Chain A
Amino acid sequence: DAKTTQPPSMDCAEGRAANLPCNHSTISGNEYVYWYRQIHSQGPQYIIHGLKNNETNEMASLIITEDRKSSTLILPHATLRDTAVYYCIVRSYTGTASKLTFGTGTRLQVTL
């Protein structure tokens, strides 16, 4: 699976949009971009995933650049409960390559 690069930490004011970038310049055509988050002392939680089109669900939006070399996770109105470590992962669907390999993630701190 391709490697991802994320900033180690970010701050965001409550109520504002949190934009978390991820670089995956070596992504291949059959690899999807997944985002997970881990709130302290809990197991990681699935947020969203996509291939090349922008995606939106009840939690977040995922914007993938046209060349697919980077993406941005957007939390439209961050709250204190969104404080967590956010992981960007790329994953292939070919054959048995179903495992997810976690990088170091971005620690998002939402403040009042």
Chain B
Amino acid sequence: SAVISQKPSRDICQRGTSLTIQCQVDSQVTMMFWYRQQPGQSLTLIATANQGSEATYESGFVIDKFPISRPNLTFSTLTVSNLSPEDSSIYLCSALGRGRRATNEKLFFGSGTQLSVL
């Protein structure tokens, strides 16, 4: 299994500023993703972080608001830009670890970043 370290674990930010979240995986993984979980809600996929190229965003999420980097196989960052109170959520990094067969792929999650915007 993969261990995912995510930081910061929580932050309180002012409106209009930006927050960058870092995600480090302890082993090489095939894919990395970023999810958002609004209060009391399920997880919503923001984007797939692609190594060395632009991330693939889901409907409703854009690069200007959620720029993502993935410079190598084990590290990614998500920036939430121009913060507003509606961005207050938990942001989760996840990584797809592959067993000996693709059918044994499992998605592992970091512990999340609790963001509160004032």
Binding site for B on A (CB under 8 A): 32, 34, 36, 41-46, 49, 51, 87, 93, 98-105
B107 within 8 A of A: yes
Q: From residue 1 to 45 of chain B, which have CB atoms closer than 8 A to chain A?
A: 4, 30-31, 33, 35, 42-45
Complexed CA–CA distance, A105 and B41 (Å): 10
Binding site for A on B (CB under 8 A): 4, 30-31, 33, 35, 42-45, 48, 92, 94, 96, 102-103, 105-112
Give, as a whole number of angstroms, the nearest-CB distance from A7 to chain B.
Answer: 14
Which residue of B4, B102, B105, B108 has the most chain A CB atoms within 10 A of its CB atom? B105
Pair B112/A98 contact, Cβ less than 8 Å: no
Complexed CA–CA distance, A99 and B102 (Å): 13
The secondary structure that dominates the A interface is: loop
Pair A98/B105 contact, Cβ less than 8 Å: yes
CB<8 Å pairs between A and B, sample of 22: A34-B107, A41-B112, A42-B112, A43-B109, A43-B110, A43-B112, A44-B92, A44-B107, A46-B107, A46-B108, A49-B106, A87-B43, A93-B105, A98-B30, A98-B31, A98-B96, A98-B105, A99-B48, A100-B45, A102-B42, A102-B43, A103-B42
